[in-house]
Amino acid sequence: MNSPYTIKDRSGIVTGAASGIGRATAVHLARMDARVALVDKDGHGLEKTRLLIEEKNSFSPLVFESDVTQETAVREVVAETVAQFGAVDFLINSAGILRRTAFFEIPPAEWDLVMNVNLRAAFLYCQAVAPHMVDRGRGAIINVASLAGRSCSILGGAHYTTSKHALIGLSRHLARELSSKGLRINAFCPGATLTPMTLNVSSDEEIEAVATTIPRGRWASPEEQAAVIGFLVSDAAVNITGACIDSNGGALMV
């Protein structure tokens, strides 16, 4: 009998796969014997992720140096993934950016950039992948939000917090609309995680200060967050849909 935690012979797409939680998730899913398509604008980072996967697996991932906010590019990635793998069993929307600009100083262009990467991209990929999943009667979509989407961010600006709240709302609505068709759609809300995105905007003093607010006393690693996503993709999570899954070491940001 196969373990419910396996995703052997399944295939899917991971956006934001060049670094951070996206990279860790792509590597983790590949080690669970899934075939993965990697998507990011950072070609150098994608190459490193590809090499990490090939070190531990006998197969190579698909690699797409692509803009996740552009509809044509998104549909091309989905079509090529289906053509190469035969199916898209899961979609991990992990692409995201963080800006710390104070509210009164946020330029409209910066607001639009954060919304486009953190929310529009997930919308486009969900819209492109969901019909294929509906036709097959199965599929798992994980939208990587943030603890900031449950309260507010202490590292990002208003645009970051707003985009993550909206991403949770999108996930819950899609679950209501599509769960009866065999799809599982969940939001994943990691807390403080040591990724290039957060480290780029945080001083050593801030990292230490945030750690003191976490009951476990430390930031999470991307690999720890990837393990939770792997569980949500697997059949062990077959009854979980429309949920907002927290992984924050017990922290509550207010």
Tell me which residues are annotated as active site: 160
Residue of 47, 36, 44 whose CA lies nearest to 7:
36
Number of helices followed by number of strands (H, E) in the chain: 9, 7
172, 214 Cβ separation under 8 angstroms? no
Three-state secondary-structure class, residue 141: strand
In angstroms, what CA-CA distances link 37 with 46, 48, 158, 192? 10, 14, 31, 26
**E strands present in 82-234:** 90-93, 139-144, 183-190
